[in-house]
Amino acid sequence: DAPAVVARYFPHYPEIYRRLDWTMFQSIDRVYDAARAARHLGFICRTGFAEKLAELAAGDST
């Protein structure tokens, strides 16, 4: 039940998704940890789900 799990961590996501007429996946197969890519390749995630939700809440849907 991905929508319930995501809502537990991001309580405002359902409201944002409703406003945009978006739906959450019913299930999420895997969640990846970028720590190994950071160690070996220097990769650093600059944007996560929380940051994108904040942008969407502010009206930026790009």
pLDDT digits (tens, 9 = 90+) for 23-58: 999 998 887 888 889 999 999 888 889 999 999 999
Give which of 46, 17, 22 is closest to 34, Cα–Cα. 46
- 18 vs 29: which has the higher pLDDT: 18
CB atoms within 10 A of CB 6: 18
Q: What is the pLDDT of residue 62?
A: 62
Is pTM beyond 0.85? Reply is: no
d(CA 4, CA 13): 10
Q: What is the pLDDT of residue 26?
A: 95
Q: What is the pLDDT of residue 33?
A: 85
One-character DSSP codes across 3-26: HHHHHHH-TTHHHHHHHHT----S
